[in-house]
Amino acid sequence: MNAEHAAPILAALRENPNLRVSDGSVKNGTVPPYVVAYIVVATPDGTTLEDVFDRVVVTATIHSVGGNADAVRVIADQVWASLGGIRPDIAGRDCSRIRLIDSRPADRDETTAQVVLNQVDVYQYASVPA
């Protein structure tokens, strides 16, 4: 269940030729710009025992990383173009469209010799049995 629900997000990001995408980690020394995706698949509590596992909610925390503010905005725009409004296709499931639910200002990291800015955007979709 986890892999099949994470796959549409990763596939949509990786199909964009303007993005370098990592799934959950980046090798030390990777030079921006790039995107890091952290995907959580959850089954919120149901109202009856029968529907406890029916609804699945997928939350993707996407880090758009660049060397300056302009680069971060361009990467974040490319992420939006890749994910915003698409409807994942999962066999046997009816999925809602992916939507942006939270966005945070870019953070500046100067702890290494290289200045890096990181903008975090959170996307989400839900699925139920078809």
Task: For residue range 31-58, list pLDDT tens digits in order.
Answer: 899 999 999 999 876 655 555 568 899 9
What's the average model confidence in pLDDT over 15-23? 97
Domain spans of the chain, in order of start: 2-129
| Domain 2-129, architecture per CATH | 2-Layer Sandwich (3.30)
Question: Tokens 């100067």 label which residue?
Answer: 110
CA gap 4, 91 in Å, rounded: 9
What's the average model confidence in pLDDT over 69-73? 94
* Strand (E) or helix (H) holding 4: helix 2-14
Instruction: Collapse the DSSP code of 77 into the 3-class scheme (helix H, G, I; strand E, B; otherwise coil) and give the result.
Output: helix
CA gap 45, 87 in Å, rounded: 23
Q: What is the pTM of this model?
A: 0.90
Give me the percent of the chain exceeding a pLDDT of 90.
Answer: 72
| Tokens found for residue 76 | 């974040």
